Amino acid sequence: MTVTIPAQSLSDFVSDIFTAAGCSAAESTRIGQYLVEANLTGHDSHGVIRVPRYLQMLQDKAIVADATVDVVVDTPVLAVVDGRYGFGQTVGPQAVRIGIDKCKKTGLSAVTLRNAGHTGRTGDFAEMAAAEGLVSVHFVNARGSVLVAPYAGVDRRFSTAPYCVGIPRPGQPPLVLDFATSIVAEGKVLVASQGGKKIPDDALIGPDGAPSADPHLLYGDYTPDGPRIHRHGRGAIRAFGEHKGSGLAFMCELLGGALTGNGATQDGQRFANGMFSFYIDPKVVDPAGFFDPEVARYTQAVKSARPATPGVDVLVPGEPEIRSRAKRTAEGVPLPDDTWASIIGAARAIGLDERRIQAATR
C-alpha cells in the first residue's frame, strides 16, 4: 500500500521536521526541497526515505547543521573544499557554486569536496551547472559505506560510487546521466525493504556467491518501520556491468575518495561523501557554436532508432526523470506505507508538534 502526498506539502513537512531537529529554516527548506526533488525525478532511494537516517546522523553528531565549507586550496581554476561534515544539501551546492564561478571566469575548473554529509542525488549538481550553460562531470564516493562486491568477488569493497555527467541544452532540460556503479543504489534496497519497488533478482550476492533480491541479505533482520543497518547483513550489492562497472566503481573511489582527501571507503570510518567534479564552458571550447546544434542532432538521431519493443520509446539520459517529475508534480509523490510510517515515527521522536504531524497525515 502507498500514500500519495503533494510535493510541496511533503517538502514543507520535511522542512518542519528538520527545523524541529535544530537546523535553521534555510537549511531545513533546502533539505526538504532536495529530498522531494529526488522523489519527483523517480529516485526514491535518495528522497524522503532518508529522513530518519539524516535525523539519526544529526543526533549522533555524524553530521553538522548549518555548516560552511572550508576552502583549503584556492587557485583560479582549482579548489579543494572541506565540507566539515555538513549536510550534503548545504555543503554540496556550496562546492558546486565555487566550481561554476571559477569555470565562468576561466572556461574550465575542477573542485574536490571531502567530508560532506550524504549529498543525495548527484544529478541535482549537474542540473545546477547546466542551468548556467556548463558541462559537468562528477565522481563520487562514500567513505565508511562499504556495500558493493567487486567483479568476481563476494566481499564488500566499494561504496555505491556514483558517476554523473550533465550536458546543457538551450531551451530544454539538460541531458543528465546519473547512476550508482552498483546494479542498484543502496537506497533502492532500502526502498524495497520498506514495501517499495523490488530490486532485480541478481542485484545482491551472498557469501556463497549466489545472486539474490532479498534485502535481508544486506541488512540482516529488521522490523517494518525500524532502522536498516547494512553492517548487520552478510551479503553485498553487485557492481553493474561485470568488470566494466566494477572498474568504474574503483575509479570513482580513487577520484572521489583518494584524490579529494575523503578517503576510499573502508569499514570503521565516519561516513562522508567525497566528490571530484570538473566544469567546462562550451562557449570557450567551441566559439564557433558547433556544440549545441550537434547535441540536438545526435540526440534526435539516437531517439529515432527503432525500438526493440513496439510502443516503448528509446530514451536519452535525463528523459525518465523529466517524465517522472511531470507526473509526480501533477499527481503527488507516492510513498510506501512503511516509508511514511518511518518518517512519522522519526518526526515524533525529535519532538515535532503532534498537530503538525496530524495535519501532514490528512
Q: Cell numbers of 235, please?
A: 551479503
Number of domains observed in the structure of the chain: 1
- pLDDT of 8 > 90? The answer is yes
116 in a domain, yes or no? no
Distances (CA, A) of 215 to 4, 183, 327: 24, 14, 28
> How large is the average pLDDT for residues 222-233?
88
> How large is the average pLDDT for residues 249-263?
98
Q: Give pLDDT, residue 65.
A: 98
> How large is the average pLDDT for residues 226-254?
95
Q: Give pLDDT, residue 225.
A: 79
CATH number for the domain that contains residue 62: 1.10.1530.10
Query: To 5 degrees, how large is the angle CA 27–CA 31–CA 37?
Result: 140
Task: Give per-residue pLDDT as tens, 133-144.
Answer: 999 999 999 999
Output the average pLDDT for the chain: 96
At 335, phi and psi to the nearest 5?
Answer: -130, 135
Instruction: Determine the structural domain holding residue 27 and report its residue range.
Output: 1-66+332-362
**If phi over 0 gives left and psi between -120 and 50 gives alpha, with beta otherwise, what is residue 220?**
left
Q: Give residue 273's identity as a one-letter amino acid code.
A: N
Q: Give pLDDT, residue 226.
A: 85
268 in a domain, yes or no? no
- Give the residue among 129, 58, 84, 124 at the shortest CA–CA distance from 262: 84
- Give the residue among 186, 132, 134 at the shortest CA–CA distance from 162: 186
* Residue 255 pLDDT class (50, 70, 90 cuts): very high
Task: Give per-residue pLDDT as tens, 199-216.
Answer: 999 999 999 999 999 999
Task: Give per-residue pLDDT as tens, 282-341.
Answer: 999 999 999 999 999 999 999 999 999 999 999 999 999 999 999 999 999 999 999 999
Task: Give the span between the Cα atoms of 227 and 5, in whole angstroms.
Answer: 23
Task: Give per-residue pLDDT as tens, 53-107.
Answer: 999 999 999 999 999 999 999 999 999 999 999 999 999 999 999 999 999 999 9
Q: Give pLDDT, residue 362.
A: 75
Task: Give the span between the Cα atoms of 247 and 257, in whole angstroms.
Answer: 15
308 in a domain, yes or no? no
Q: Give pLDDT, residue 195.
A: 85
203 in a domain, yes or no? no
Task: Give the span between the Cα atoms of 114 and 143, in whole angstroms.
Answer: 10
Share of the chain above pLDDT 70, in %: 100
Share of the chain above pLDDT 90, in %: 94
Per DSSP, which regions of the chain are E strands? 2-5, 70-74, 78-82, 108-116, 135-143, 148-149, 163-169, 172-179, 204-205, 211-212, 236-238, 272-280, 333-336
Strands 333-336 and 172-179: unpaired
Does this model's pTM top 0.75? My answer is yes
282 in a domain, yes or no? no
- pLDDT of 361 > 90? The answer is no
337 in a domain, yes or no? yes
Q: Give residue 159's identity as a one-letter amino acid code.
A: S
Core vs surface per residue 105-120: b (16+ CB within 10 A) or e: eebbbbbbbbbbbbbb
* Residue 159 pLDDT class (50, 70, 90 cuts): very high
205 in a domain, yes or no? no
Is 141 in contact with 147 (CB distance < 8 Å)? no
21 in a domain, yes or no? yes
3-class SS letters over 153-209: CCCCCECCCCEEEEEEECCEEEEEEEECCECCCHHHHHHHHCCCCCCCCCCEECCCC
